[in-house]
Amino acid sequence: MRNLIGMAVLLTLSLITAGCGSSSSNSTTTVNGNWSANLTDSPSGPTTYTFTTTLTENSGGGISVTNFTLTSGNGSCFTGATTETGTFTLGGNFNGTVTGTFGMTITSQDTAGQDVLTLQGGVGPNNTIAGVWSVTGTSACVGNGIFTFNKTS
């Protein structure tokens, strides 16, 4: 677990640092749009969950999360109605490069109980976000790992 967290921190810091020094419009990350997430249990591990969603920046660092669709994952997890919330702490420069932190929580309530998926990461260049995830809840829905989040349009 300690190594996983260390790797995620290094990955997040390298993405943030890569975005800080670039002035190319190709390195710009914009929040608003459709995103696709891939969650694994380790850098080379199998995919645990994938989902797509639409993010829209709100004032004060919040984001609106809509059109959430879990496209793969543990079949017994997140089967009920879901609620999604998210935050960004953004920084950047006058060339349009965005850096900062990202957080998202997906909560599902069904007859078996409540499951909560939490993502914490950093905004990187070229419309990417990366970091660590964890899921808690019913006995079948427990785990953690790393994620990548890519803007699809």
| Model confidence pLDDT, tens digit, residues 65-76 | 999 998 887 667
| 67-118 pLDDT, tens digit each | 999 888 766 788 888 899 888 776 655 555 666 888 999 999 887 789 999 9
| 12-53 pLDDT, tens digit each | 444 444 444 333 334 455 688 999 999 998 888 888 899 999
DSSP secondary-structure letter at 46?
Answer: P
DSSP secondary-structure letter at 34?
Answer: E
Q: What percent of the chain has pLDDT over 90?
A: 28
Greater model confidence, 3 or 124: 124
Beta bridge partners of residue 52, listed in sequence order: 36, 69
Global confidence as pTM:
0.74
Q: What is the pLDDT of residue 65?
A: 92
Mean pLDDT throughout 121-127?
Answer: 83
User: Alpha-carbon distance 48 to 72, whole Å?
Assistant: 8
Greater model confidence, 123 or 6: 123
User: Alpha-carbon distance 99 to 140, whole Å?
Assistant: 35
- As to burial, measured by CB atoms within 10 angstroms (0-12 exposed, 13-18 middle, 19+ buried), residue 32 is exposed
> Token digits for 87?
């935050």
